Structure 1
Amino acid sequence: MTTTEATALGTHHLPQTIEPRNPGMALDLDWVMQARANRSAIERRAASLPARRSVKKDNQAAWLCRAISCIDLTTLAGDDTAGRVARLCAKARQPVRADLLAALGMEGLTVGAVCVYHDMVEPAVAALQGSGIPVAAVSTGFPAGLSPFHLRVAEIEESVKAGAAEIDIVISRRHVLTGNWQGLYDEMRAFRAACGDAHVKAILATGELGTLQNVARASLICMMAGADFIKTSTGKESVNATLPVSLVMIRAIRDYYDRTGYRVGYKPAGGISKAKDALVYLSLMKEELGDRWLRNDMFRFGASSLLGDIERQLEHQVTGAYSANWRHAMG
């Protein structure tokens, strides 16, 4: 992918997607129970990708610019303030120094979204006004998802009222661990309904689901219930996004598209902090799902520190020298 091709692919954000939105479907337990995951084969495939995929020079710069456009720039800390969120939003508008973007021919590049807690939605919406960058809110008792159900639904509704265009919900892991697939489907349908026109990303918290087979089945059920995206993790689990888990979820997305004709997006989150890791994930998406899933209405990184490392790599591409991390702060 060259910088020209990266620009031509566009920078569509999720609420302005040109794809028909996934409406969901009736729960098909026969399909769900047929889902299997061969761990050894999955791990071999995942291990092969970093070793044989290498993108260099101008092509690497283009891929890294594409990665930036797919970042959900995130702050989910207990000490978040309106000022911190405003600084993060300024970085979202101008993720890389203007001189570097000009040298690369990538003026106007922005991130995919800004992701915050509910209380920070209004400050984020105000700071991003006129930018076209949507605000995503984590919801439904994030990160554990163990608050009363009616409060989880109400939290979604309040975030939408506050201006969130995307809602990252967390599923009840117990439904997966106990095989209560109807319960998971009903929960996800209720969350989707509460989102209204806001797009919904279903966080599976894959590190807490026990097996790759459970990951595959939970992925299918969330899509059947109308999820616009499926997402690996909250970033708060001990194990977050991994390539084997990603492969399982991506192939569930491919299976769902083959059977229904609806495209669902994918978001790996947690632990992706290096530019080289972003390149591997983009390569995986391209190989398994094709170029259409390389746009930010179909693919996002849940990350913040990733942007700083990508910016360092882009500066090296332009100047031939690496700069210190402090030169690329989030705000």
Structure 2
Amino acid sequence: MPHERNPGIPLDLSWVTEGRVNLAATKRRADQHKVRRSVKMEWQAAWLLRAVTCIDLTTLSGDDTEANVKRLCFKAKRPIRRDILETLGVADKKITTGAVCVYPNRVNEAVKHLEGTNIPVASVAAGFPAGQTMLKHRLMEIEEAVAAGAHEIDIVITRPYVLQSKWQQLYDEVKAMRQACGEAHLKTILATGELGSLDNVYRASVICMMAGADVIKTSTGKEGVNATFPVALTMLRAIREYHQRTGFKVGFKPAGGIRSAKDAVSWLAIMKEELGDDWTKPDLFRIGASSLLTDIERQLFHCATGRYAAAHQLAMS
């Protein structure tokens, strides 16, 4: 059953300012997870297939053309070669990626090439990746992406609001963006590598959820530091606390630097451990990636045949 969408709540500054993160304990938990969590071969294919369904298959390049978008949409519809799926006994599962993510001016092309599927089109907006344009222009960009057919909008927050503890301004900004999205889901990118501390990551996470974010996301993928497990633990526990206090479920999306099948399984495992099975499914968990799918398909080829595929044997993503 689909979960109820997070409507947001009034800004609670006492909750925000009282939040503290134990840096040493968070790093210790993250380090333990990285070395202890693995999936045995007999279960590996199932975990990798679940990871495929959670991928936001992304192209965000300055030289994107309709041909790029068309190829990406084709791969999203058929992310794993059919003969691999048949060997694994899951050809009837209709496995697709979680979404296709493009720039706003490519949304109509993605919508066209995904017609007849249930794959949502996501669009970055709001002055991505820096978020330094005027708010009225950022809101206009969101509205235009939604009008073009985007089902999900990935926005970037104003990082100086966090660095200067301007919590009311951050709340108002995200709330205005949520309103601009209408029925489209709002994914707020914190750009955690630029927030200075895990305390700030926690506070920004809580405020974005209070303002109505459907998903909180680590990074644009353009920062020097992107998705890390200490940051993830901080955000996941903010999500858990928000759910406990309000009853509303908010999703999570790590992005940037996630390139291997092993990484994808590790991210799924931490979602299961920290939040439960509901957060290992695409309505509450996404992985922002462009090259990850190739490695997952290569590992699934190995699960099916016992050998690895050469690069030319797998379609580009």
TM-score, structure 1 as length reference: 0.94
SS in 1 for 2:127: coil
Give the structure 2 partner of residue 112 of structure 1: 98
Question: Which amino acid in the other structure matches residue 268 of structure 2?
Answer: L
Q: Is contact 1:165–1:198 with CA below 8 Å preserved after alignment?
A: yes
Aligned twin of 2:132: 146
Residues 235 and 269 in structure 1, CA contact (< 8 A), matched pair in contact too: yes
Alpha-carbon distance in structure 1 between the residues aligned to 2:287 and 2:246: 25
Matched, 1:277 2:252: no
Instruction: Give the match for residue 103 of structure 1.
Output: 87
Aligned twin of 1:6: none
Aligned-residue Cα RMSD (Å) equals: 0.9
Tell me, in whole angstroms, the C-alpha distance in 1 between the residues paired with 2:284 and 2:311.
Answer: 30
**Alignment-derived partner of residue 71 in structure 2:** 87
Q: Assess if the C-alpha contact under 8 Å between 1:204 and 1:219 holds in 2.
A: yes
Identify the match of residue 148 of structure 2 among 159, 162, 173: 162
Matches within 5 A, 1:204-243: 204-243=190-229
Q: Secondary structure at the match of 1:99?
A: helix
Q: Retained in 2: the 8 A contact 1:203–1:232?
A: yes
Residue matched to 1:288: 274
The AA in structure 1 aligned to 2:11 is: L
**CA distance in structure 2 between the partners assigned to 1:51 and 1:187 by the alignment:** 39
In structure 2, C-alpha distance between the alignment counterparts of 1:105 and 1:38, rounded to whole Å = 45
Q: Percent of counterpart pairs with the same letter?
A: 61
Q: Does the residue aligned with 1:45 lie in a helix, a strand or coil?
A: helix
Moved over 4 A (4+): none
Residue 53 of structure 1: how far off its partner (Å): 1.3
1:28 maps to amino acid: D
Letter of the aligned partner of 1:35 in structure 2?
G
Structure 1: gaps spanning 5 or more residues: 1-16
Q: What does residue 42 of structure 1 align with?
A: 26
**Which residue of 2 is the match for residue 32 of structure 1?**
16
Q: Which amino acid aligns with 1:134?
A: P
Match for residue 192 of structure 1? Answer: 178
Distance 1:23 1:295 in 2: 21
- Identify the residue that residue 321 of structure 1 maps to in structure 2: 307
Equivalent residues in 2 for 1:293-312, closer than 5 Å: 293-312=279-298
**Equivalent residues, number:** 315
Equivalent residue of 1:129, what SS? coil
Give the Cα–Cα distance (whole angstroms) in 2 for the partners of residues 197 and 82 of structure 1: 26
Cα-to-partner distance string for 1:268-308 (whole Å, 9 max, x where unaligned): 00000001011111110000000011110000000011100
CA positional deviation for 1:86: 0.3
Please state whether the residue corresponding to 2:122 is helix, strand or coil: strand
**TM-score in terms of structure 2 length:** 0.98
1:181 equivalent in alignment to 2:203: no
* 1:328 Cα deviation after fit: 2.4
CA distance in 2, matches of 1:234, 1:81: 21
The answer to whether the 8 Å contact 1:205/1:232 transfers is yes
Equivalence for 1:3: none
